[in-house]
Amino acid sequence: AQRVTQPEKLLSVFKGAPVELKCNYSYSGSPELFWYVQYSRQRLQLLLRHISRESIKGFTADLNKGETSFHLKKPFAQEEDSAMYYCALSRYNQGGKLIFGQGTELSVKP
């Protein structure tokens, strides 16, 4: 069965500290992996997708197929990064069906 696990419900760091939000998945095929973010009072929006291999707002994520992980990292956290982060998976060519992790709330303190 497909599953996405985010082990931390809440991650609290100080401004300027490095951040790593963990995401592990189980899927037998070739998954498409995403990070979505929900800022306070805003709708859910895409932050990163692994096929793009890009850096958005200083965040990066590398797909590690051996460890079945897709951790989200940022070297220096900013207060505006405080939000709810969701890791998500879809099968190849099944864009309408996302499987989400439980979400991690990131709190960046001044």
> Residue 92 CB, nearest distance to other proteins (Å)?
4
Number of residues that bind other proteins (CB under 8 A): 27
Binding to other proteins by residue 83, rule CB under 8 A?
Answer: no
Closest listed residue to residue 72, CA positions, set 89, 87, 90, 91: 87
Q: In the structure encoding, which two tokens stand for residue 85, read together?
A: 């982060």
Binding to other proteins by residue 61, rule CB under 8 A?
Answer: no
Q: Which of 49, 71, 74, 108 binds other proteins (CB under 8 A)?
A: 49
Residues with Cβ within 8 Å of 82's Cβ and at least 6 positions away in sequence, in order, are 39, 40, 106, 107, 108
| Rounded Cα distance, 42 and 63, in Å | 27
Q: Which of 27, 77, 90, 108 binds other proteins (CB under 8 A)?
A: 90
Site of interaction with other proteins (CB under 8 A): 4, 6, 9, 32, 36, 43-46, 49, 51, 86, 88, 90-103
